[in-house]
Structure 1
Amino acid sequence: MRAPSSPSSPSAVPFASLAAREIFLNPGELGSGCRNEVFGTLLGSCVAITLWHPVRRFGCLCHFILPTGATTALTRGRYGDTAFALMQAELVRNGVLLSECVAKLFGGGRMFVAGATTHDVGKRNIAMARDLLRQARLVPASEHVGGDGYRRLYFDITTGDVWLKFDWIDTDQHDVVL
């Protein structure tokens, strides 16, 4: 995991202004839109992938729960493999080429520090997301993954910036923009 960097001033992070425009995504949901939209979500062991087209200012965000699973029309966004396929379909529907998008990757935190790491869902989700991006020939422009704790995320479609508040279990960290 890349260490979080802190902005020059914590007040420089516009969480209040982003929250006022937020379209909140629950686990298993996908959001896409243009220009002034802001998608927000809360990630634990789940992973979010953002895709943003800098010229069209079109973006997508998926929030998946598990790497793979049995899917139905109602559960496709819950699994990494099908959530990414939904994102690609949304790009096509809006005339956006995947190869022209900027990808970013977030989440996959370990929510329960004690216990075996063999069933670390966050780690498996991160591996799936990286594999999906690699198969699409996309290298993440930034990522903030792993660790112990949760992330509050805002994806600003106007700029492509992802604003992140990461809280380790038992300590507070600085807010970052990626």
Structure 2
Amino acid sequence: MARAIENSTVTGHEQHLARTRIKDVRLGEHNVRVQPGEYFVTDTPGTVIITILGSCVAACIRNPKNGFGGMNHFMLPESESGQWGGVSSQMRYGNHAMENLINEVLKSGCLRHDLEIKLFGGANMYAGHNEVGTQNARFAQAYLKAEGLRVLATDLGGNHGRRIHYSPQTGRVKRLLLNDSQDKSVTRTESSYSTRLVAKPIEGDIELFG
């Protein structure tokens, strides 16, 4: 059998919230799936981080000097007014996702200007809504700009979801656009996640940039 699911445990220099690890014997890879609201960082050779994005955004960030890096997957839920600015507590999830991943990679011994950053996702997949994906993508780009961090590559927007395979060791990314049937599945998953996210109490403070 080429693939086997293992228990997700922290080994070596790995930190994560991701739950599912799949060993691909044929390719000699350990594939870690990152779901909405999760992140994963590692320096283990042969590890490929996988996620499926609709309107959500994923940042792939690594230290190119030693191959330590990871991926997050976050959604900024739309407010009832359709606005994304201001001090809405819902924005904290995107901020925390970026901050957590950046800080974990910095701990590996690189400077901020060394970070290799790539952004993916932000498709507009919800009919009748205010371009949720576009707003997510703009937030991620604005956050990184405000932090003074350069983005090496982006693949954002459009009307179809994406499947992303990321290798922190090499920085290589494989991107596959989803078909209509797959898009519907991703939309249901993100809608369910968004509902849980809005209902969840917010803890802690946030520092807004402006």
- For the aligned residue pairs, the C-alpha RMSD in angstroms reads 2.4
CA distance in 2, matches of 1:125, 1:156: 23
The alpha-carbon deviation at position 168 of structure 1 amounts to: 5.4
Q: Which has the higher contact order (CA 8 A, sep 6+)?
A: 1
Aligned partner of 2:94 in structure 1 is: 80
The structure 1 residue matched to 2:112, chosen from 68, 89, 98, is: 98
CA distance in 2, matches of 1:146, 1:168: 15
Mapping 1:1-178, distance limit 5 Å: 17=27, 20-34=29-43, 35-66=45-76, 70=89, 79-112=93-126, 114-116=127-129, 118=130, 120-167=131-178, 169=180
Shift in alpha-carbon separation, 1:98–1:45, aligned structure 2, 3 A: same
Aligned residues: 146
CA distance in 2, matches of 1:80, 1:168: 27
Amino acid at match of 2:69: G
CA contact (8 A) 1:52 1:101 kept: yes
- Give the TM-score normalised by structure 2: 0.62
- Give the TM-score normalised by structure 1: 0.72
> What per-residue deviation string (whole Å, max 9, x for no partner) do you get for residues 72-108 of structure 1?
xxxx7xx211111111221243333232011101000
SS at match of 1:40: strand
Q: Identity percentage over the alignment?
A: 32
CA distance in 2, matches of 1:29, 1:98: 22
CA distance in 2, matches of 1:92, 1:54: 11
Moved more, 80-89 or 143-152: 80-89
Runs of 5+ in structure 2 lacking a partner? 1-25, 78-83, 182-210
CA distance in 1, matches of 2:174, 2:114: 22
> What per-residue deviation string (whole Å, max 9, x for no partner) do you get for residues 15-68 of structure 1?
x848x5210001010110113321110000000011121111111211101178
Question: Per residue, is there more strand in 1 or in 2?
Answer: 1
Amino acid at match of 2:103: A
Shift in alpha-carbon separation, 1:103–1:61, aligned structure 2, 3 A: same
Shift in alpha-carbon separation, 1:100–1:127, aligned structure 2, 3 A: same
SS at match of 1:28: coil
CA contact (8 A) 1:81 1:128 kept: no
CA contact (8 A) 1:25 1:39 kept: yes
CA contact (8 A) 1:25 1:40 kept: yes
